[in-house]
């Protein structure tokens, strides 16, 4: 079996190969631009061997920040006709051509981790980023809350594009007038690993609506048929707030506003507890209905500093019941699909976040078990975008940046 040292060298080489000069693409071809939360995880990976390059990654991400504080989910630094939908479809007017939506705000958390690698080198870089990160946090708190939980306005925002969480909401959407378009993703990977055309029609419908409304948040709030409070956005925003508070206090800043938002988000997180499901769930803000989905995002509670004994019991169960945990969807669910993107596969990047949370909350046995299982998965099946939770086989894109970063920063460490 290949040694950990050799695998670590492969992981470093993937980050270096996917480096485009200031930002890292998730993988060549399939994802040719800078993605928000991918980039934050890439920074964590770079920090294990090149702290300066890690800071550059995050700084480049925030160069795309809009004037109102929003940080887009994609920055289109260079034209690439092989990707759809590109900047011409989004029609945004940020400082860098971009999409009009966000992604899970883990940049503040990863910035804290990078800073902790070398506080002397990082203090000035962190101080420059801090007000930008707070501005983005405040944007989320202004535009995305419902009863204290954070809402998504597009499945792509959560990073969990085709998760079953959105099925009921999307079923009510009429996308019959979306028009013709040509997807590029299925030219790079097996179509059985990707969202269906039914899903994609609705993704594009929401993009078309945002463009028509000039990405005006008030107008979108009033008109959009898609607004779902979900565990991904809520738990990552809460974690970001906690890290911003730590950073702000270290920099001598007034963090009272952040402290207030933490209190509100903690309350909001509890509005996502579905007692009937026995887990944290997504809820449609417009209809009031639960999604009824236990996903890998449900286990991000510890990442957010939220303890829950019932979720811990469920995690222990899935860790023993599924050969390669944590699956993105409950294998007992009718909607489970072991290979189709976020409807079943295991994602090393979410395992990282779950593992960080478990470690922080004192669940060291579970944290180590998850890290060991993730390490074994990568050692046996490579640096894939995601994996079949039942047999471990690689799926999606290969030589994937954040899977390499997960190995370097967490799974492959002693």
End-to-end Cα spacing for the chain: 17
pLDDT single digits (tens) 177-236: 999 998 677 666 666 777 889 999 999 999 999 999 999 999 999 999 999 999 999 999
For 113, the 3-state DSSP assignment is helix
Q: Which one, of 325, 291, 399, 330, lies nearest residue 15 by Cα?
A: 399
Q: What is the DSSP letter of 326?
A: P
Q: Which one, of 123, 159, 136, 152, lies nearest residue 39 by Cα?
A: 159
pLDDT single digits (tens) 24-36: 999 998 899 999 9
pLDDT single digits (tens) 123-158: 999 999 999 999 999 999 999 999 999 999 999 999
Q: Is the dihedral of CA 235, 241, 246, 247 positive or negative?
A: positive
Q: What is the pLDDT of residue 414?
A: 76
- Cα 220 from chain centroid (whole Å): 22
Distance CA 289, CA 49 (A): 46
Does residue 1 register a pLDDT over 60? no
Distance CA 41, CA 28 (A): 17
Q: What is the DSSP letter of 399?
A: S
Out of 157, 359, 385, 388, pick the active-site residue.
385
The answer to whether 70 and 139 are in contact (CB under 8 A) is: yes
pLDDT single digits (tens) 24-83: 999 998 899 999 999 999 999 999 999 999 999 999 999 999 999 999 999 999 989 888
Q: Across residues 257-278, what is the average pLDDT?
A: 98
Does residue 92 register a pLDDT over 70? yes
Indicate the range of 14-18, 184-188, 282-286, 340-344 predicted with least confidence. 184-188
Neighbours of 119 (CB within 10 A): 10
**Length of the chain measured in residues:** 414
Residue with tokens 């969480």: 165
Neighbours of 182 (CB within 10 A): 7
Distance CA 107, CA 101 (A): 15
Residue 180 a catalytic site member: no
For 74, the 3-state DSSP assignment is strand
Q: Is 365 exposed, middle or buried (0-12, 13-18, 19+ CB in 10 A)?
A: exposed
Distance CA 47, CA 411 (A): 15
Q: What is the pLDDT of residue 187?
A: 65
Q: What is the pLDDT of residue 148?
A: 98
How many CA atoms does the CB half-sphere of 87 hold within 13 Å?
Answer: 18
Out of 161, 185, 337, 366, pick the active-site residue.
161
* Lookup: tokens for 305: 């500093």
Does residue 288 register a pLDDT over 80? yes
Q: What is the pLDDT of residue 188?
A: 64
Distance CA 348, CA 70 (A): 27
Q: Which one, of 266, 248, 380, lies nearest residue 323 by Cα?
A: 380
Does residue 347 register a pLDDT over 60? yes
Q: Is 198 exposed, middle or buried (0-12, 13-18, 19+ CB in 10 A)?
A: exposed
Q: Across residues 339-362, what is the average pLDDT?
A: 98
Strands (E), 251-294: 273-274, 279-280, 283-284
Distance CA 218, CA 224 (A): 10
- Cα 249 from chain centroid (whole Å): 26
Residue 289 a catalytic site member: no
Q: Across residues 314-343, what is the average pLDDT?
A: 97
Average pLDDT, the chain: 96
How many CA atoms does the CB half-sphere of 13 hold within 13 Å?
Answer: 8
């Amino acid at each position: 079996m290949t040694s950990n040292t050799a695998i670590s060298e492969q992981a470093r080489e993937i980050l270096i190969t996917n480096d485009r000069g200031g930002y890292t693409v998730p993988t060549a071809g399939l994802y040719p631009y800078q993605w928000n939360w991918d980039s934050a995880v890439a920074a964590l990976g770079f920090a294990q061997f090149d702290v300066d390059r890690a800071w550059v990654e995050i700084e480049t991400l925030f160069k795309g920040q809009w004037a109102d504080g929003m940080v887009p989910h994609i920055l289109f630094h260079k034209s690439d006709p092989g990707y759809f939908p590109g900047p011409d479809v989004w029609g945004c007017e940020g400082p860098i051509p971009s999409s009009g939506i966000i992604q899970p705000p883990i940049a503040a958390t990863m910035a804290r981790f990078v800073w902790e690698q070398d506080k002397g080198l990082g203090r000035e870089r962190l101080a420059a980023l801090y007000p930008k990160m707070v501005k983005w946090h405040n944007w989320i708190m202004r535009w995305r809350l419902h009863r204290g939980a954070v809402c998504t306005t597009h499945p792509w925002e959560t990073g969990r594009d085709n998760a079953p969480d959105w099925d009921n909401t999307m079923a009510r959407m009429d996308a019959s007038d979306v028009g013709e378009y040509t997807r590029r993703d299925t030219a790079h990977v097996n179509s059985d690993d990707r969202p269906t055309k039914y899903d994609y029609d609705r993704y594009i419908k929401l993009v078309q609506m945002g463009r028509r409304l000039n990405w005006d948040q008030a107008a979108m709030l009033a008109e959009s048929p898609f607004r779902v409070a979900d565990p991904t956005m809520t738990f990552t925003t809460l974690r970001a707030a906690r890290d911003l508070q730590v950073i702000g206090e270290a920099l001598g800043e007034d963090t009272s506003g952040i402290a207030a938002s933490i209190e509100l988000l903690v309350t909001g997180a509890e509005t996502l507890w579905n007692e009937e499901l026995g887990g944290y769930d997504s809820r449609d803000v417009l209809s009031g209905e639960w999604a009824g989905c236990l996903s890998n995002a449900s286990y991000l509670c510890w990442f957010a500093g939220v303890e829950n004994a019932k979720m811990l019991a469920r995690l222990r169960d899935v860790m023993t019941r599924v050969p390669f945990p944590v699956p993105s969807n409950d294998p007992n669910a009718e909607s489970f699909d072991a290979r189709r993107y976020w409807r079943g596969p295991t994602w090393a990047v979410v395992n990282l976040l779950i593992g960080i949370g478990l470690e922080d909350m004192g669940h060291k046995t579970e944290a180590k078990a998850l890290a060991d299982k993730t390490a074994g998965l990568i050692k046996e099946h490579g640096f894939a975008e995601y994996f079949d939770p039942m047999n471990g086989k690689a799926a999606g894109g290969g030589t994937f940046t954040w899977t390499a970063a997960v190995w370097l920063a967490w799974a492959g460490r002693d």
